Amino acid sequence: MVIKAKNLQDAEELLHSGINKVELAYDIGSDDFFRLATRWCDRGARITKGHQHFVVQIKGMAIPPNN
């Protein structure tokens, strides 16, 4: 399920809250795009171009078994 963000602050809050797929449903500027990409791609996120907007997707981290 994709959750839509209406601005950069909304996108950041959604990603910090644990939502793993956020559509940037607004016209994002280049400065904000690169700021978001730098912050979240370092954490394993992938940004792709959807039909109309960019989508930020964070892969779930696997937790190893506690043996």
Of the chain, the percentage scoring pLDDT greater than 90 comes to 73
Indicate the DSSP class of residue 2: P
Collapsed DSSP state (helix, strand, coil) of residue 18:
coil
Please tell me the total count of domains within the chain: 1
- The answer to the question of residue 64 being in a domain is no
Domain containing residue 48? 3-58
- Pairing mode, strands 54-58 and 3-5: unpaired
Q: Per-residue pLDDT for 62 more than 50?
A: no
Contact 13, 30 (CB under 8 A): no
Q: What is the CATH number of the domain that holds 17?
A: 3.30.1370
C-alpha dihedral sign at 35, 37, 40, 42: negative
User: At residue 14, does pLDDT exceed 70?
Assistant: yes
**How high is the pLDDT of residue 16?**
92
pLDDT in the model for residue 48: 96
Dihedral pair phi/psi, residue 44, rounded to 5°: 100, 10
